[in-house]
Structure 1
Amino acid sequence: MIETLRQISQLQPAYSPSNTPAMQARGSLIRSTLVGEVRGLAAVLSSELAEYGDDFGVEASDGIGRKTEAPWVRFFSRRMSPTPRDGFYAVIHFSADGSAFWITVGCGSTVWNGGDLRALPDAKLQERTQWARSVVDQHFGGAGQFADTIALGAKASLPRTFEKATALARRFNPVMTADAEIEQALIEAAGYLREVYRAQAMGSHLSLAEAAEIELEALARPNANAAARQGLGLTGPERRAIELRAMKVAQDWLEGLGFSVKDTSKNSPFDFAATQNGDTFKIEVKGTTGVSCDEFFMTKNEVELHQREAGATGLVLVSNFHLVRKSGVLPTAVGGTCHGEIGWSIASCELRPVAYRVVRPASPPAKSHRS
């Protein structure tokens, strides 16, 4: 494989947007030779991807129409990343001057808009890559040798979005690298990608509001393309584990402030009655496996309660859980970062409707029509 990577790197300085002989040779190396060599590692890479290796895929691009300065080859789980615009995957990138290539873990950086590929906003890419790095840090204690900075040196704007969409990167010199190093780095990248996929399956890449919106969409459009719901798959026991942990963390936080706490979640549209110095606050608790909880879902009754009793309610947000799964044992949640507001005003937040219950008026039975 290293010989192929060297040949591609040597052709990079001869870049042209036209299909010159050099670009034809580079295209064949990218789309055929290198793809074949990565597929040749399918057994070991799919094994490292574990439950996400059963639909292992490899694909490449050296440009759509015009040739690109930044060709790439990626491997991925088809259900977690059905297209290069969706989800996360491991990618091999090449510098424009041929001095380096990188093995990376990154996410889709573009969307189709008006028939063209358009870059996602920098803030959205930063949010996605920071989340993926936090997953790797939590599971592995750091990114090891995948902490390099990727700098492709391309002049066009689109390849620069690839840099912004990279969460983890390891740089290689094409002249001073051996095949064994490449294979080991690809295996390490697959391990990082596996944990990112597992975190996606827990919904930790989504805010509570986004997760709820996806579920509502699934209820409203059960026959819609399942790819739209890719990456979300918490089981009932896992949801329950998160709920229990959020309540425990919230109760500990309230009691640490000197409140006496009563669990009211089973019979009331709020979770705790928290009392201190004769004053009682109705507390809403929201928990998520995500790293933040800036958006969440509330029912109509919950919203009306906080509007009606503004100043006498509270909000406790608990995020960044880690689910512990063991065979034959119900899952549990550990960790959790707590942020709370006593005397919370829902008026300070924006309320966005995401679904409606549609009730048809009562009417006589429709007359049948014969064709």
Structure 2
Amino acid sequence: MRQTLRRICELQLQYSSKNTPEMQERGNLVRQVLTAELRALRSTLSDALGPFGADFHVDASDGIGNKTELPWARFCSKEMSPKPTHGFYVVLHFSTDGSGVNIAVGCSSSKFHNGYSIILPPEELAKRTEWARRIVQEDRGTLEPFTDSNDFGARLPLPKSFQNASALVKKITYDEINDAKVAGHLVQAAEMLRAIYSAQRLGRELSPADQTELDIINITRPTSTISKSQGFGLTAKERIAVERRAMAMAEAWLLEEGYKPKDTSANKPYDFEAKKDGDVIFVEVKGTTSDAADAIAMTHGEVALHRSKKGQTALIIVTGIRLEKDRNGPRTSGGKLEPLVGWDIDEWSVQPTAFRVARNANA
């Protein structure tokens, strides 16, 4: 791999958007030789990816049509990132000045939202890469040695977006490139990617509303590539465990605040009826593994309740609930509680995510 990477770096100094002999050689090295060398490391990198290594996947590009400033080769879980426009992956980028190869844990510049994959504006892409860094920091206790700049010298908009989508970067300078160093950093990057995949699998990146919308898509459009390409989703037992954790935390908070809560979740469109000083509030609880809850899902009945009983309802959101698998079933821990007493639903944006479409009696 040392020879391949160094030669690609050398050819970067002769970059042209045209298919010159030098760019033909670069393209062959990136798309054929380098990908074969990455596949030769499959066993080691798959082990580093843990449960996400079974569908180890490699691909590469040096540009479609015109040649790109930043040719790349990547590896990932095929399920978690079926194509470069979806998910997270480990990617090799080559500095435009030929100074070295950048091993990055990066992501697509698009994300699932409101039922579709949308292109993220720069500020949202920055939030996504920051989220990935937080996950890795939490898992490993450090980002080292992947703390180098994500400025690879790109000048054009598309290559610049590749740079911006690189969350964690380790640059190996031309003179330092050797097989052992490259392989070692690729393994480290794969371990970081595993942590990100694990967090995604538990729904930590998507909002609760987007998680619910994915479930709806899986039911109403089972052949959709959108739902199958996200790699997210909790099992029924995991959802129940998360809901119970949130309910327990909400009940404890209500008691601490002097309320006398009654669990009504089994037969009412709210979870608690809570009394205090002769007053009653109707409490809706939403628990999620997501690290943020900027959007939640509600049924028609829940929305109607919050509008008809405005001023008498409360919304308690519990984010960041952690799940661990156990032989006796999923175990939960953690969670950050946000109580919104006297919540006004009309101060939020209410958008339909699904409709009940019923045939008329005389149809």
Fold equivalence (TM over 0.5):
yes
Q: What does 1:16-35 correspond to in 2, within 5 Å? A: 16-35=16-35
Partner of 1:237: 237
Cα distance in 2, alignment partners of residues 267 and 359 from structure 1: 24
Q: Secondary structure at the match of 1:330?
A: coil
Cα distance in 1, alignment partners of residues 263 and 306 from structure 2: 18
Deviations 1:32-59 (A, max 9, x none): 1111111110011112212221211111
The answer to whether the 8 Å contact 1:82/1:227 transfers is: no
Measure how far apart 1:110 and its partner are: 5.7
Q: What does 1:165-244 correspond to in 2, within 5 Å? A: 165-225=165-225, 228=228, 230-244=230-244
Partner of 2:60: 60
Flag structure 2 segments of 5+ consecutive residues without an equivalent. 112-117
Deviations 1:230-267 (A, max 9, x none): 21231112111211111222233333333333322122
Q: What does 1:279-358 correspond to in 2, within 5 Å? A: 279-326=279-326, 328-358=327-357
Q: Secondary structure at the match of 2:189?
A: helix
Query: 1:358–1:325: structure 2 CA closer, same or farther, 3 Å change rule?
Result: same
Could you tell me which amino acid in structure 1 is paired with residue 124 of structure 2? K
Could you tell me which amino acid in structure 2 is paired with residue 202 of structure 1? L
Measure how far apart 1:164 and its partner are: 1.6
Partner of 1:368: none
Cα distance in 1, alignment partners of residues 302 and 227 from structure 2: 31
The answer to whether the 8 Å contact 1:9/1:101 transfers is: yes
* TM-score (ref. length: structure 2): 0.93
Query: 1:255–1:102: structure 2 CA closer, same or farther, 3 Å change rule?
Result: farther
Query: 1:120–1:269: structure 2 CA closer, same or farther, 3 Å change rule?
Result: closer
Residues 1:265 and 2:265 aligned together: yes
Cα distance in 2, alignment partners of residues 316 and 147 from structure 1: 38
Could you tell me which amino acid in structure 2 is paired with residue 23 of structure 1? M
Cα distance in 1, alignment partners of residues 313 and 110 from structure 2: 42
The answer to whether the 8 Å contact 1:89/1:105 transfers is: yes
Cα distance in 1, alignment partners of residues 337 and 102 from structure 2: 38
Q: Secondary structure at the match of 2:329?
A: strand
Percent identity reads 44
Measure how far apart 1:227 and its partner are: 5.0
Flag structure 1 segments of 5+ consecutive residues without an equivalent. 112-117, 365-371
Q: What does 1:353-368 correspond to in 2, within 5 Å? A: 353-363=352-362
Query: 1:154–1:183: structure 2 CA closer, same or farther, 3 Å change rule?
Result: same
* TM-score (ref. length: structure 1): 0.91
Cα distance in 2, alignment partners of residues 276 and 138 from structure 1: 40
Measure how far apart 1:313 and its partner are: 0.6
Partner of 1:247: 247
Q: Secondary structure at the match of 2:334?
A: strand
Q: Secondary structure at the match of 2:159?
A: helix
The answer to whether the 8 Å contact 1:280/1:312 transfers is: yes
Deviations 1:41-93 (A, max 9, x none): 00111122122212111111111110000111000111111111011111011
Q: Secondary structure at the match of 1:169?
A: strand
Cα distance in 1, alignment partners of residues 141 and 248 from structure 2: 26
Measure how far apart 1:361 and its partner are: 1.9
Query: 1:258–1:362: structure 2 CA closer, same or farther, 3 Å change rule?
Result: closer
The answer to whether the 8 Å contact 2:81/2:229 transfers is: no
Could you tell me which amino acid in structure 2 is paired with residue 158 of structure 1? L
Residues 1:121 and 2:141 aligned together: no
Query: 1:240–1:142: structure 2 CA closer, same or farther, 3 Å change rule?
Result: farther
Measure how far apart 1:286 and its partner are: 0.8
Residues 1:135 and 2:135 aligned together: yes
Could you tell me which amino acid in structure 2 is paired with residue 175 of structure 1? D
The answer to whether the 8 Å contact 2:90/2:103 transfers is: yes
Measure how far apart 1:229 and its partner are: 5.2
Cα distance in 2, alignment partners of residues 189 and 12 from structure 1: 24
Q: Which moved more, 1:52-61 or 1:255-264?
A: 255-264
Deviations 1:126-170 (A, max 9, x none): 232222222222222232312222111111011111122112211
The answer to whether the 8 Å contact 1:258/1:276 transfers is: yes
Could you tell me which amino acid in structure 1 is paired with residue 342 of structure 2? G
Q: Secondary structure at the match of 1:49?
A: helix
Partner of 1:115: none
Cα distance in 2, alignment partners of residues 190 and 51 from structure 1: 12
